A = this chain, B = another copy of it.
């Protein structure tokens, strides 16, 4: 299936349904004007303007529905995003399947020292890696055998499952609008996100980009690749910048539109005012 991307060892993300595209964003934003004769170029400009100025409601007019197969511990992080609709496989109604996430060897890494929550770049010595993967795989097998033996002894499904590790795969339908998906992706594409959920975020990014290319481009320029500088950081920067004024013509050479150049001049002057020389 072309709308499906494999994730981790046994999971996937599948784009099941979509409502709208770039033109729906434009349509919603133009409810005041009528959409008439605008050219594609103007659509791009409008979408970029909306993104830059955080006029987020038009992006809520596009909706995506995914079918996802994922380990329970990833599902637990994912579900913290509350602005989505979910229907998940139920271990009360059906037996859980014998599928567990086993990381690839290059993911067998140590705790990061700088990033309290995450993993470091270094992998473990290969004999440790082998031991870890072997013992983990063996544990999955005995866990599932125990699960089945509890079921066979007659224990109800909703209790038997309690012995299954959080690496067990589940699946769900997940529906979300583009604005909220952008927010999800901003957090889950970040290098601080756990690798296992980042893989799914990247898959969704891939699928979504193809549906709303203009919105995605604007999202990359103005959100994903933007940097927020705090008051303190701006003060330092202010003293490092040359004493000259910002040259609008120069900005255009860097690819900024006239409007963007004007907006940047405003920001630049704000920053300069923080200089201790002012």
Contact = CB atoms under 8 A, between A and B. Distances in A.
Contacts of A222: 230-231
Given A17-B19, A93-B117, A156 B111 contact: yes
Interface stretch (A37-45, A77-85, A199-207, A208-216): A77-85
A16 to B, nearest CB: 8
B110 A132 contact: no
B128 A153 contact: yes
Given A24-B17, A82-B82, A146 B157 contact: no
Given A164-B166, A173-B61, A229-B226, A32 B194 contact: no
A158 B108 CA distance: 11
Given A61-B65, A88-B31, A226-B228, A119 B159 contact: yes
B235 A254 contact: yes
Interface in A76-119: 76, 79-80, 82-83, 85-94, 101, 103, 107-112, 116-119
Contacts of A240: 241-242
Interface of A: 17-20, 24, 27-29, 31-33, 52, 54, 57-58, 60-61, 63, 65, 67, 71-73, 75-76, 79-80, 82-83, 85-94, 101, 103, 107-112, 116-120, 124, 128, 131-132, 135-136, 139-140, 142-143, 146, 149-150, 153-159, 161-168, 171-173, 175, 177, 187, 194, 220-222, 225-237, 240-242, 246, 250-251, 254-256, 260, 264, 267, 270-271
